[in-house]
Amino acid sequence: MNYKRLFSCSGKIAVVTGGAGLIGKEIVKGLIASGAKVYVADNDAAKVKKIFRSGKIKFIYLDITSEESIIGLFAKIKKEAGKIDILVNSAYPRTKDWGNKFEDVSFTSWKTNLDSQLGGYFLCCRAAARCMKDSKGGSIINLGSTYGVVAPDFSIYEGTQMTMSAAYSAIKGGLITFTKYLATYYAKYKIRVNSISPGGVFDNQPAIFVEKYCKRTPLGRMAHPSEIAGAAVFLASDASSYVTGHNLMVDGGWTAW
């Protein structure tokens, strides 16, 4: 075992969906630092260009709600790069009424959100796995959430306009279980499939929410987006070569209570 290269992704081709997002952009940076060539799959070219000015990534347009867009994206990358070694699903599509209270969520909105995110991840995983089978292995990483494992603590939202979408829990819970399914299904092809479940990530939320969240968390603070990147690099690299079907909690101890 070459321990010096344990966390290296040198020579690997990575795809990060939602790579311009709060967490996605930090995962991209982490993979670049580990040596990977990264394709940032996002629907906002201007935002990607503003974030990644070094030219160490390649932008490729993706509408994760479109099967045609997803199939075309992976075909293009496979043709251009010759392989895909790593897929990180970090895209976060949602409807404009995402923040509605449960009583006000329409059935149409519920179906649209599940189809957009859970359906999009399904299509991305399947397309990436087809490429990885040709290369005899790879790593797929899906972004779950603590709220895919435990119920929301609604008391931390009191005094704010914030809430937690019911669709979010359904999507993330389903995604974590789906990840386990894929891990066993693709194991014979040496394709590892894992998920990362972050806790609350600081994004300039209202001060009262941040205070309550920090008091509720054993480590006493919210996560920084870059702290999710380390988990992604671990699961993408050979450091996790015997890890598959796992949901890695990165939550400051939130689910340990």
Q: Which residue has the tokens 């990575």?
A: 14
Catalytic positions, please?
Answer: 168
Which residue, among 229, 199, 233, has the nearest Cα to 217 in the 3D structure?
A: 199
41 class by beta-carbon count within 10 Å (0-12 exposed, 13-18 middle, 19+ buried): buried
